[in-house]
Chains A and B, each alone.
Chain A
Amino acid sequence: MASIEVRKETCVGCGECVPACPFGAIAMENELAVISDECTLCGACESSCSYGAIIIRTGETGETEIDQYSGIMVLAEQRDGTIDHSTLELLGEARRLAEADGSSVSVVLLTEEAGDWPAKLISYGADTVYLAEDAQLKHFRTEPFSRIAEILIIEKKPAVVLAAATTTGRDLMPRIAKNLNTGLTADCTELAIDPESGALLQTRPAFGGNILATIVCSDTRPQMATVRPRVMKAMDPDENRVGVIERIKLSPLNLESRTEVLEFNPLDEGEVDITEAEVIVSGGRGLKSPENFALLQELASLLDGSIGASRAAVDAGWVPYPHQVGQTGKTVQPKTYIACGISGAVQHRVGMQSSDRILAVNKDETAPIFEFCDVGFVGDLFEIIPFVIKEIKRRRK
């Protein structure tokens, strides 16, 4: 049985631990920290104490404690009150994993105004929606979001916690995992439950996509993972699914933050976020000059798509960095990816290989891109693409 102790001889009565406790379980009495029964042994005070005066003894650890954890918790992502599609994908995946061992799926929604989203989240696979609504939750902010999630995780003890591997999930999850002293696997593309141990098998690409590593977190809970968007499938919403909506109690302390969002500047019109594009026309070294990207731009516009680029084209200064696809750029998954003059080195491949359909034009028959594209055209893009543009215009008439 784990226990917490304040060492009287070491405690100097500084009071640092009082605000550190998310549960308000510490009070100062006669210049000594006193811990009440509200304590959940979360350890926040232990790490806040500069004098090492607070000690948590874990005592009997191992299987018994791990057995107390069950179910899958998804941290939802929203912007301006709209749930990101990645959350629905996570619910679909959580549902699939939960079927394996009959556990339940919960989702945590922190927002300004939830509207009808809690019901929708249930229709997409959640059994329980933990909901907090507050004007201060309008924008994602690391500290309140991680603090609220940590408290909820300590209380609800999910075996698995998932978030999308977006800039939000990748900001939030490491903080939670570090504070809860548990493991986190980044950017998973495959999840499964090990039938023998019941552990979550978390598979992710590493070494620039050269390998797939499967990772487990065997001795601590929850098992946490961020999951690459657009890889898992959302389930078809079922309006008849039943679920519970439970409100999270917020204290002003939970909402405190040392950062503030001064403004949010959406991308300008025409300046599309390529990670959300359905068609990408992408150019590489074979484009030879910045002017030639105008040709790709014309094709992209015809197809209602965006421009992508390989690192070579970006490093040459032909296309700005936000368009870079690949390991040191963005990961995209459009319905159609047209690679023009791109050799298809592994660093580029990892950023676009999940596209539904890959078309490639390259002069070099031995270019690696021809090994994994769906349809390849061996030839000079400066000859082929103008014909393609003409042909599309002709057929559209």
Chain B
Amino acid sequence: MRIVVAVKQVPDTAEVRIDEERGTLIREGIPSILNPFDEYALEEAMRWRDELGGTVTVMTMGPPQAEAVLREAVSMGADEAILLSDRAFAGADTWATSHTLAKAVEKMGDVDIVMTGKQAIDGDTAQTGPSIAASLDWPQITFVGFVRELNRDSIVAERYVEGGCEVIRSSLPVVITVLKDANTPRLPSLRGKMKSRKIEIPVWGREYLELPEDEVGLDGSPTRVVSITTPEIISNGEIHRGDPAELAKLMVDSLLGTEAF
């Protein structure tokens, strides 16, 4: 089984602060982390590799420093890593990103499954996984909460949707996007850490992937961000203090007349 896990290096959004005066993100000093949802995809890939044999390749598109998340993934147990990095890739939206990742998967050849986290915590689009599937013309199963079966020819996975769970069977090759429900990611091992320090990570650029300039990065992106604003927080709520019994009465008062009653 040859599994590719597409991961992303993201700023830890929990640490992001806003420059109140300019309304912009303060990104200096914000730690970069492996997108938390991608850890579940990585664990799922390794779980099945451990059972069926094969290899797990982590892949990311990003600036040279994105290599750090690949090394982190190797320390957790990934077998190989590939960095897609080129100045021409900068400014890519989900169309261009998935296009580039799909091309790299094609370049690797003989890949059975591409797994990725449900979404990245910076963009929150959840679009890259299904777009990779479209680029490769593979089937897809998104929002996977549990992989029931996996063998050489097919996969059976539970897709968590509004109001229930769909059980889906797909032929391979396939792209799946993984939810937090799927597993508990393992911690880096000592052996993994040693491997992660030594491993050679190839860097693939636009020319190596034989992609025309207008299909990558900003030039290959149909969408553009035209403005960024900070959401207004309306703080005109009434705040009560005092005796708990009195507060409870006030709370029931404020619940009265709402749909709760």
Interface, chain A (partner B; CB < 8 A): 20, 47-48, 79, 84, 139, 142-143, 146, 166-168, 170-179, 181-187, 201, 205-220, 257-267, 273, 275-276, 278-279, 303-305, 321-322, 327-328, 335-336, 345-347, 357-359, 361, 365, 370-380, 383-385, 387-388, 390-392, 395
- A186/B125 in contact, CB under 8 A: yes
Q: Nearest A residue to B127 by beta-carbon distance?
A: A174
Please tell me which stretch of B45-53, B74-82, B140-148, B189-197 contacts chain A, meaning at least 4 of its Cβ atoms lie within 8 angstroms of it. B140-148
Q: Is B207 an interface residue when CB atoms closer than 8 A count as contact?
A: no
Complex Cα–Cα for A220 and B223 (A): 9
Query: Are A211 and B229 CB-contacts (below 8 A) given A327-B13, A336-B255?
Result: yes
List residues of chain B with CB within 8 A of the CB of A305: 260
20 contacts between A and B (CB under 8 A): A167-B143, A177-B95, A177-B127, A178-B131, A181-B95, A182-B95, A211-B230, A216-B226, A258-B171, A260-B168, A328-B36, A328-B121, A345-B14, A358-B237, A377-B247, A377-B251, A378-B241, A379-B241, A384-B247, A392-B252
List residues of chain A with CB within 8 A of the CB of B259: 278-279, 335-336
Q: Is B135 an interface residue when CB atoms closer than 8 A count as contact?
A: yes
- B244/A380 in contact, CB under 8 A: yes
Q: Is B181 an interface residue when CB atoms closer than 8 A count as contact?
A: yes
- A387/B244 in contact, CB under 8 A: yes
Query: Are A207 and B134 CB-contacts (below 8 A) given A171-B143, A201-B226, A276-B162?
Result: no
Complex Cα–Cα for A183 and B98 (A): 12
- A167/B244 in contact, CB under 8 A: no
List residues of chain A with CB within 8 A of the CB of B242: 379
- B137/A48 in contact, CB under 8 A: yes
Q: Which one of B139, B159, B223, B242 has the greatest number of beta carbons of chain A within 10 Å? A: B223
Interface, chain B (partner A; CB < 8 A): 11, 13-14, 16, 18, 25, 36-37, 93-95, 98-99, 121-131, 133-135, 137, 139-143, 156, 159-171, 174, 180-181, 221-231, 233-235, 237-242, 244-245, 247-252, 254-255, 258-261
**Min CB–CB distance B112 → chain A (angstroms):** 14
- A175/B95 in contact, CB under 8 A: no
- B237/A370 in contact, CB under 8 A: yes
The secondary-structure label for the interface of chain A is mixed
Q: Could you say which of A211, A218, A392 contacts B231, with CB atoms under 8 Å apart?
A: A211
- A178/B143 in contact, CB under 8 A: no
**Min CB–CB distance B34 → chain A (angstroms):** 14
Q: Nearest A residue to B134 by beta-carbon distance?
A: A178
List residues of chain B with CB within 8 A of the CB of A273: 162-164
Query: What is the count of residue pairs linking A and B with beta-carbon distances less than 8 angstroms?
Result: 277
- A174/B93 in contact, CB under 8 A: no
- B140/A175 in contact, CB under 8 A: yes
Complex Cα–Cα for A385 and B252 (A): 10
- B231/A209 in contact, CB under 8 A: yes
List residues of chain A with CB within 8 A of the CB of B261: 303
- B14/A347 in contact, CB under 8 A: yes
- B227/A214 in contact, CB under 8 A: yes
**Min CB–CB distance A345 → chain B (angstroms):** 7
**Min CB–CB distance A395 → chain B (angstroms):** 7
Query: Are A391 and B228 CB-contacts (below 8 A) given A208-B13, A335-B260, A372-B235?
Result: no
- B226/A261 in contact, CB under 8 A: no
- B123/A262 in contact, CB under 8 A: no
- A210/B230 in contact, CB under 8 A: yes
List residues of chain B with CB within 8 A of the CB of A279: 259-260
Known: A174-B98, A336-B255, A388-B252. 5 other contacts (CB 8 A): A177-B222, A210-B230, A211-B230, A216-B224, A327-B13
Query: Are A259 and B255 CB-contacts (below 8 A) given A175-B131, A267-B164, A375-B240?
Result: no
Complex Cα–Cα for A256 and B65 (A): 43
- B239/A210 in contact, CB under 8 A: no
Complex Cα–Cα for A182 and B220 (A): 10
Q: Could you say which of B13, B180, B251, B260 contacts A207, with CB atoms under 8 Å apart?
A: B13
Q: Could you say which of B162, B174, B222, B255 contacts A167, with CB atoms under 8 Å apart?
A: B162
- A184/B95 in contact, CB under 8 A: yes
- A258/B135 in contact, CB under 8 A: no
- B160/A167 in contact, CB under 8 A: yes
Complex Cα–Cα for A285 and B104 (A): 43
Q: Could you say which of B221, B240, B244 contacts A183, with CB atoms under 8 Å apart?
A: B221
Complex Cα–Cα for A336 and B255 (A): 8
- A207/B25 in contact, CB under 8 A: yes
Q: Nearest B residue to A304 by beta-carbon distance?
A: B260
**Min CB–CB distance A308 → chain B (angstroms):** 14
- B241/A177 in contact, CB under 8 A: no
- B233/A139 in contact, CB under 8 A: no
List residues of chain A with CB within 8 A of the CB of B122: 206-208
- B222/A183 in contact, CB under 8 A: yes
Complex Cα–Cα for A345 and B13 (A): 11
**Min CB–CB distance B166 → chain A (angstroms):** 5
Query: Are A387 and B223 CB-contacts (below 8 A) given A178-B95, A211-B231, A376-B238?
Result: no
